[in-house]
Amino acid sequence: MNLFAGCMAILHLLNGEWRLVPVFALIGLIGDATDGIVARTLGVHSPLGKELDSLADMVTFGVLPGAILYHLMATTYTGTFDYQGVVWAAIPGFIISMFSALRLAKFNVDERQTTDFIGLATPASTGFFMGLYLIVHFDTFIPADWVLSLPLLYILGLVFSYFLISEIRMFGLKFKHWGWRGNELPYIFLITCVLLIVFLRLGAFSIGILTYLTIVLLDNVFLKKTK
């Protein structure tokens, strides 16, 4: 379901069916979030499933965010959503896809990542660029001109590529219990996200990921968790 939804999201992006792109991306995210539960419930958990999970993620959380960034760059460069042919100035958008592949490969062989992550998870990176996409196509609260800047998009592509393969330890959202102690960072992040959705609407997706990275960096600086 994750892999198919990722393919459909890319297909609708290429065809200019803007409203269906986030719908299929969300379906892919649900598939990715529930595959482990389904596998354990059915008793089909296996190393093959782990590899298949990463291959599916490469489409939904690797190729798709690269295609979205390409689309945003192409729209900025041409000044229209209806650009034709290959927009070479937008090709650097696929740097996200390349570094997402490296991130997923590293994750498969890195035994240090259990409840926390080392480097930014690919769904978080995809969420950020999907947030920019939502601002440009649907948000009336944040001006699209704030996003459609080629230098800014180039910088964001490089910055998020770095975070994907960085050695920075980042907290996950897997709760061992529901208490506050030991779950401070996830709770702070989730509460912040709720507030962002209330006040920023669709802009909350990108700002939420930036907030997450800010919390992570502060956590690493002050608690010295960086290895």
Residue identified by tokens 């001109």 is 145
Number of domains forming the structure of the chain: 1
Of 187, 193, 81, the C-alpha closest to 131 is 193
**Could you write out the DSSP letters of every residue in 47-107?**
HHHHHHHHHHHHIIIIIHHHHHHHHHHHHHHHSSS---S--GGGGGGGHHHHHHHHHHHHH
Rounded CA separation 143/117 (Å): 33
The structure tokens listed for 128 are 């950020």
Of 94, 203, 193, 205, the C-alpha closest to 146 is 203
- Please indicate, yes or no, if residue 52 is contained in any of the structural domains: yes
φ/ψ (deg, to 5) at 117: -115, 155
Predicted pLDDT of residue 226: 43
- Please indicate, yes or no, if residue 194 is contained in any of the structural domains: no
- Please indicate, yes or no, if residue 214 is contained in any of the structural domains: no
- Please indicate, yes or no, if residue 51 is contained in any of the structural domains: yes
- Please indicate, yes or no, if residue 153 is contained in any of the structural domains: yes
Predicted pLDDT of residue 176: 65
Residue 38 host element (H or E): helix 20-42
- Please indicate, yes or no, if residue 140 is contained in any of the structural domains: yes
**Which structural domain, as residue segments, surrounds residue 79?**
2-173
- Please indicate, yes or no, if residue 123 is contained in any of the structural domains: yes
The structure tokens listed for 113 are 């990542």
- Please indicate, yes or no, if residue 198 is contained in any of the structural domains: no
Mean pLDDT of residues grouped by 10 in the chain (227 residues)?
97 96 96 84 82 92 98 96 95 97 90 82 96 91 91 97 94 74 83 88 91 90 59
